């Protein structure tokens, strides 16, 4: 799954600060996703995008924002409104949504509060 690159690997956020996590894919996939993973829990969907310039909220979108200006890129911003941002964030992509295709994951970004 080397086609999905997340950066940075580790990120620290100060109180009241917005931070942006990068996700780039060169797999020519239409659909991209952001998940949050907390210890002992499964993957929870934050936002997803089926096509450029379009995205939808997932199950836990509050305090997060995204953009999809290019097919290859789907950055996630963790805003100051997200009061508990400490987690492991995973980006994924698939050829197209809803067509029984597996999602391929990046290596993740671990976000912590300073």
Partner 1 sequence: GENVEQHPSTLSVQEGDSAVIKCTYSDSASNYFPWYKQELGKRPQLIIDIRSNVGEKKDQRIAVTLNKTAKHFSLHITETQPEDSAVYFCAASSPAGSSNTGKLIFGQGTTLQVKP
> Which one among 90, 93, 109, 111 touches partner 1, defined by CB under 8 A?
90
> Which one among 5, 22, 30, 43 touches partner 1, defined by CB under 8 A?
43
Min dist CB 18 to partner 1, Å, is 25
Distances (CA, A) of 27 to 1, 19, 77, 100: 9, 26, 23, 17
Degrees, nearest 5: CA angle 70-94-108: 80
Tell me the three-class secondary structure of 18-66, residue by residue: CEEEEEEECCCCCEEEEEEECCCCCEEEEEEEEECCEEEECCCCCCEEE
Residue 107 three-state SS: coil
> Which one among 42, 54, 83, 114 touches partner 1, defined by CB under 8 A?
42
Contact stretch for partner 1 (CB under 8 A) within 13-21, 41-49, 67-75, 79-87? 41-49
Contact stretch for partner 1 (CB under 8 A) within 19-27, 61-69, 71-79, 104-112? 104-112
Contact between 23 and partner 1 (CB under 8 A)?
no
The residues that touch partner 1, with contacts defined as CB under 8 A, are: 1, 33, 40-45, 48, 56, 58, 90, 97-108
């Amino acid at each position: 799954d080397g086609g999905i690159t997340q950066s940075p690997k580790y990120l620290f956020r100060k109180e009241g600060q917005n931070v942006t996590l990068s996700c780039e894919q060169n797999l020519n996939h239409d659909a991209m996703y952001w998940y949050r993973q907390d210890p002992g829990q499964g993957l929870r969907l934050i936002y997803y995008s089926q096509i450029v310039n379009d995205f939808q909220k997932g199950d836990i979108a509050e305090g997060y924002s995204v953009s999809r200006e290019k097919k290859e890129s789907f950055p996630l911003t963790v805003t100051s409104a997200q009061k508990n941002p400490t987690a492991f964030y995973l980006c994924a992509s698939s050829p197209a949504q809803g067509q029984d295709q597996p999602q391929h994951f990046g290596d993740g970004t671990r976000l912590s509060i300073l």
